[in-house]
Amino acid sequence: MKQILLVLSTAIVLVSGAYGNEVQHESTHEVHWNYDENGPANWGKFSETCQIGEAQSPINIIVNETKGIDKSDILKLNESIETKASIADNGHAIQVNIENGGIIRVDGVNYKLVQFHFHGLSEEEIDGAHTDLVAHMVHKSPFGSLLVVAVLFNEGKTAQPMIQTVIENVGKSVEIDPSTLLPFDTEHYYHFMGSLTTPPCTENVKWYVMKEVESASKEQIAALRTFYDHNYRPVQPLNGRVVESK
Ligand SMILES: [Zn+2]
């Protein structure tokens, strides 16, 4: 009897030992997507949609090939609201998480701002050209559908006040008015259907790219790029999608 117990307990130790090692192995060597060795060309490993999706973002917007906007796709912006926000490095971008965001209304559906984040070169191209930075303002409807407003920036003489607030408060919580990130002209934009530009690359995202390119100072662009300077996915095939223009 003693002998059987000894054998049994040895077996349990061996099994739990092996299991323990496996868990440790997985947690210390977990593979995560990034913009380097596990970059955009390999994101299919993390979500199949990134590889086989046919309506992916970002895209190159060829201005001459856009068409007039459908009335049902016109934005009603109501972003001006004072809200608490926490500014964090999410491991891929500097992201501003919004506690109580403003609303964008499209075709009878309200989309509420949940966060905005920055890419160190714009992901979207206009006639084949990037801009120096882009902010993506991510909105969510009560049904969970997503709408992203892209705000483009190029290096210019003037600093952008909201970008300055972000740079000075990474890791902190602040009171902000997210509408101050938007350009003066919010009446003109491109619209298309696309996806999240990071895994899981979920599709059916409504994209709106503001036409007015804002100015950010050289120092601001450099400061944001000290965190991430190549966190942009290359443009994806249109696969027959049409870009609307207003
Ligand atoms: Zn983004």
Convert the pLDDT of each residue in 94-138 to its tens digit. 999 999 999 999 999 999 999 999 999 999 999 999 999 999 999
pTM to 2 decimal places: 0.87
- Give start and end residues of each alpha helix (H) in 85-192: 161-168
CA of 135 to the centre of ligand 1 (A): 7
CATH among 3.90.245.10, 3.40.50.700, 3.10.200.10, 3.40.50.620 for 47-245: 3.10.200.10
* pLDDT confidence band for 15 (50 / 70 / 90): very low
pLDDT the model gives residue 29: 59
CA of 175 to the centre of ligand 1 (A): 22
pLDDT the model gives residue 75: 97
| 139 belongs to the catalytic site | no
- Can you tell me the distance from the alpha carbon of 223 to that of 166, in angstroms, rounded to the nearest whole number? 10
Burial grade of 98 (CB within 10 A; 0-12, 13-18, 19 or more): buried
CA of 39 to the centre of ligand 1 (A): 15
Residues with Cβ within 5 Å of ion ligand 1?
136
Instruction: Kindly name the residue from 25, 29, 92, 191 that is annotated as catalytic.
Output: 92
Domain boundaries, the chain: 47-245
CA of 157 to the centre of ligand 1 (A): 25
CA of 64 to the centre of ligand 1 (A): 25
